[in-house]
Amino acid sequence: MKKVFALALTGALCLSLLAGCSSAASGSGSATAAAGELNLFAFGEMFPQEVLDGFTQETGIKVNYSTFDTDETMLSRLETSKGGDYDVVIADDYIIKTAIDEGLVSELDKDQIPNLGNVNPVYQGQFFDPEDKYTVPHGAGVMTIVYDPALVGKEITSYEDLWDASLADNLAIIGNYRVIDGMALKLMGESYNVEDPAVIQSAGEKLLELAPNIRAIQDANTQDLLISGEVAAAVMYTSQTYLAKINRSDLEIAYPSEGLGFGLMAQFVPVNAPNKDAAYQFINYLLDPEVSKQCFEYMGYYCTNQAAEELFDDATKELLVLPEDFLSSNDIEMIQPVSAEAEEAHMQVWTEFKSACGQ
């Protein structure tokens, strides 16, 4: 009798757990392969609804847009599904390299992407895909300095200017340690991707001198600190720079003279994508200049589509297209994965820096 009772209660328990499972399954809008569908997997807020609707109108293919919040989540999903489930994935450079190395990415059939010629060649042939066999760039991110001229009182042109004592307690930075450590590396004339832990350590010492100027370290909504006047200058992601400028046109953007680190997002087709044809149609559609323009204006990343550049109005162009002379110079460098040893040195430098900021 007791057994029955215990069983009944265990049953009730299981039911409530199952309720959780089933609701989770239905909640995440699980992507199942069916004819006339496309499973898109990307960061959130990357596509305006018109762009997705436009594709459906043009081709009759329904777009299932699922999102991830970190590249690592994306990769583990892709590993679990053995490169299936999704048709088009958009992620950051370094993780794509890992995905390619693990054989999760299929080679592109370029004949099916007539618009491929629209891509700005500057962004092609990068470390993660030197022969452009697997990926199509979709947006570049550059770390820029944005400042409020009224509060700074002088022009900022370099990373060095950020170290100036006049910015004491007035600088906000993002929490990306490769970028922030990289500022010090650049100041020392080193590469972002330096492997020698000793060099990274000495960059760390340089970085400690910056600590008194740091008001906040924050990844999300960094631009709001600048907009609200909480800080006078900020080192931010491209999309945040874009939002800052849109909200306050009096803010100034500085491309530091020591050189910039940049990152790329790119699209790829997983090796076992259920709807490869639809995937190619979608990639091609996104490369259409007009569609590209809409996408970049929506997400605020630097435009990787040369054909779309002409379509922006002047003010937007200034924000979404990197200056010509900048791209041609050698001052622009991709941030690449480094060895575990160098990574550890970065983490130590970063931790030390953060606690120095709190003193």
Partner 1 sequence: MKNRTFLPNLFLGIVTVIFYLPIVLVVLYSFNENKLTSVWSGFSLKWYQMLFQDKAIFEALGNSIFLGICASVNAAVIGTLGAVGFTRIRSRSKGPVEYLSMLPIMIPEIILGMVFMAFFSLLGLPFGMTTLILSHTVFCIPYVYMLVKARLVGMDPGLVEAARDLGASDVRAFFDVTLPLLAPAIASGMLLSFAMSFDDVIISIFVTGVNVNTLPILIYSQLKVGVTPEINALCTLMLAATILLVALSAVLGRPRRSRHR
Partner 2 sequence: MKKRSKLWLTVVPLYVFTLLFVLGPMIYMVVLSFQTRAEVWGVVNEFTLDNYKNIFHPVYLQTFAESFKLAITSTLFIVAIGYPFGYFMAKLSPVWKKRMMLLLMIPFWTSSLIRMYGWIIIFRANGTLDKLLMGLGLTQSPLKLLYTYPAVVVGMVYALLQFMIFAVYSSAEKLDWSLVEAARDLGASPWQAFRTVTLKLTLPGLLSGVILTFIPSMGLFFIADILGGNKVVLVGSLIQDQLMKAHNWPFAAALSVALMIMTTLMIALYKRVTHSEELEGLL
Backbone angles phi, psi at 69, to 5 degrees: -105, -20
Q: Cα–Cα distance between 291 and 306 in angstroms, integer?
A: 13
Q: Binding residue for partner 1 (CB under 8 A) from 37, 160, 164, 224? A: 224
- Stretch of residues binding partner 2 (CB under 8 A), selected from 9-17, 82-90, 185-193, 321-329: 9-17
- Stretch of residues binding partner 1 (CB under 8 A), selected from 54-62, 124-132, 219-227, 347-355: 219-227
Q: Does 216 bind partner 2 (CB under 8 A)?
A: yes
Q: Which of partner 1, partner 2, none has residue 212 at its interface (CB below 5 to 8 Å by kind)?
A: none
Window 99-118: residues binding partner 2 (CB under 8 A): 101
Q: Which of partner 2, partner 1, none has residue 29 at its interface (CB below 5 to 8 Å by kind)?
A: partner 1
Backbone angles phi, psi at 338, to 5 degrees: -120, 175
Q: Cα–Cα distance between 213 and 21 in angstroms, integer?
A: 48
Query: What's the closest the beta carbon of residue 104 comes to partner 2, in angstroms?
Result: 12
Q: Binding residue for partner 1 (CB under 8 A) from 7, 9, 188, 347? A: 9
What's the Cα-to-Cα distance from 198 to each of 21, 77, 194, 202, 349, rounded to whole Å? 49, 36, 10, 6, 11
Count of residues that bind partner 2 according to CB under 8 A:
39
Neighbour count for residue 174 (Cβ, 10 Å): 18
Q: Cα–Cα distance between 148 and 211 in angstroms, integer?
A: 20
Handedness of CA 50, 55, 58, 59 (dihedral sign): negative
Helix (H, G, I), strand (E, B), or coil: what is residue 90? strand
Q: Does 80 bind partner 2 (CB under 8 A)?
A: no
> Which segments of the chain does DSSP mark as H helices, in order?
2-27, 49-59, 71-80, 93-101, 149-152, 159-162, 177-187, 197-208, 222-227, 238-247, 276-286, 289-299, 306-309, 314-320, 324-328, 340-357
> Which segments of 81-188 does DSSP mark as H helices, in order?
93-101, 149-152, 159-162, 177-187
Q: Cα–Cα distance between 98 and 293 in angstroms, integer?
A: 29
Q: Which of partner 1, partner 2, none has residue 177 at its interface (CB below 5 to 8 Å by kind)?
A: partner 2
Q: Binding residue for partner 1 (CB under 8 A) from 57, 157, 221, 329? A: 221
Q: Binding residue for partner 1 (CB under 8 A) from 52, 55, 63, 68? A: 68
- Stretch of residues binding partner 2 (CB under 8 A), selected from 25-33, 53-61, 227-235, 260-268: 227-235
Q: Cα–Cα distance between 351 and 213 in angstroms, integer?
A: 16
Q: Binding residue for partner 2 (CB under 8 A) from 8, 10, 45, 205? A: 10
Q: Does 220 bind partner 1 (CB under 8 A)?
A: yes
Window 13-32: residues binding partner 2 (CB under 8 A): 13
Q: Binding residue for partner 1 (CB under 8 A) from 32, 57, 80, 157? A: 80
Q: Does 357 bind partner 2 (CB under 8 A)?
A: yes
Q: Binding residue for partner 1 (CB under 8 A) from 7, 12, 34, 151? A: 12
Contacts of 150 (CB under 8 A, 6+ apart): 250
- Stretch of residues binding partner 1 (CB under 8 A), selected from 73-81, 97-105, 182-190, 291-299: 73-81
Q: Cα–Cα distance between 268 and 177 in angstroms, integer?
A: 27
Q: Binding residue for partner 2 (CB under 8 A) from 112, 193, 218, 306? A: 218
Helix (H) or strand (E) holding 139: strand 135-142
Q: Does 47 bind partner 1 (CB under 8 A)?
A: no
Q: Does 272 bind partner 1 (CB under 8 A)?
A: no
- Stretch of residues binding partner 1 (CB under 8 A), selected from 17-25, 190-198, 270-278, 305-313: 17-25
Contacts of 223 (CB under 8 A, 6+ apart): 146, 234, 236, 240, 241, 243, 244, 247
Q: Which of partner 1, partner 2, none has residue 350 at its interface (CB below 5 to 8 Å by kind)?
A: partner 2
End-to-end Cα distance, the chain: 65
Residues of this chain that interact with partner 2 (CB under 8 A) are 2-3, 6, 9-10, 13, 70, 72, 75, 98, 101, 169, 172, 175-177, 214-218, 228-230, 337, 339-340, 343-344, 347-348, 350-352, 354-355, 357-359
